[in-house]
Amino acid sequence: MLVTSCGSLDSRSNSRNYRHDAVMGTYTNNYRYAFAARVSATSGSDGPSGGAQQHNPPQRWARGPPRDHSNTDEHRYWIHNSTPPPLSAGRFVVVSFNILGVDNANQHCRELYWHIPPFVMDWNYRKKRILLELGLWSPDIICLQEVDRFDDLQTDLVRQGYEGIFKGRTGGSSDGCAIFWRTKKFVLLQEESIEYQELNLRHNVAQLCVLRITCDEPKRGKGKRPKGMEDNLVVVCNIHVLFNPNRGDIKLGQVRHLLEKAYSLSQAWGGIPVVVAGDFNTVPQSPLYQYLCNGMLNLTNYDRRAISGQVDRSRGVRQVRVERWTSTTSQCQVENEGRTVLTETSVVSSDDRLLEDPCAPSFKWTSEELETATGIASESFLKHNLELQSAYSSIEGSQETRDSSNEPLVTTYHGNFMGTVDYIWFTDGLMPVRVLELLPVRVLQRIKGLPSKKWGSDHLALACEFAFKQ
How do residues 182-237 score in pLDDT, each as one tens digit?
999 999 999 999 999 999 999 999 999 999 999 655 555 444 444 445 579 999 99
Omega prior to 432 cis, within 30 of 0: no
Chain Cα centroid distance, residue 124: 20
Dihedral angle computed from the Cα positions of residues 386, 163, 251 and 108, in that order, rounded to the nearest 10 degrees: 150
Kind and range of the H or E run holding 211: strand 205-213
C-beta separation of 450 from 414 below 8 A? yes
Asked whether residue 69 is assigned to any structural domain, the reply reads: no
Contacts of 419 (CB under 8 A, 6+ apart): 283, 319, 320, 321, 409, 410, 411, 412
C-beta separation of 367 from 373 below 8 A? no
Tell me, what DSSP letter sits at residue 76? -
- Could you read off the pLDDT of 262-319 as tens digits, one per residue? 999 999 999 999 999 999 999 999 999 999 999 999 999 999 999 999 975 433 334 4
d(CA 52, CA 64): 35
Residue 176's DSSP bridge partners are: 147, 168
Q: What amino acid occupies position 79?
A: I
* Three-state secondary-structure class, residue 172: coil
Asked whether residue 215 is assigned to any structural domain, the reply reads: yes
Residue in 175, 208, 362 with CA at minimum distance from that of residue 276: 208
Tell me, what DSSP letter sits at residue 231? G
Contacts of 208 (CB under 8 A, 6+ apart): 191, 192, 193, 194, 235, 236, 237, 238, 258, 261, 262, 265
What's the CATH number where 361 sits?
3.60.10.10
Q: Which residues of the chain are modeled with pLDDT < 50?
A: 5-55, 58-71, 221-228, 313-358, 360-362
| CB-CB neighbours of 175 under 10 Å | 23
C-beta separation of 117 from 254 below 8 A? no
Asked whether residue 46 is assigned to any structural domain, the reply reads: no
C-beta separation of 289 from 315 below 8 A? no
Whole-model pTM over 0.85: no
pLDDT of residue 260: 98
Asked whether residue 177 is assigned to any structural domain, the reply reads: yes
pLDDT of residue 439: 97
d(CA 306, CA 315): 12
Count up the domains in the chain and report the number.
Answer: 1
Asked whether residue 49 is assigned to any structural domain, the reply reads: no
Asked whether residue 321 is assigned to any structural domain, the reply reads: yes
* Three-state secondary-structure class, residue 41: coil
pLDDT of residue 229: 53
Show the domain range for 301: 75-468
Look at phi and psi of residue 78 and say left if phi exceeds 0, alpha if psi is from -120 to 50, else beta: beta
| CB-CB neighbours of 53 under 10 Å | 7
Asked whether residue 425 is assigned to any structural domain, the reply reads: yes
pLDDT of residue 363: 58
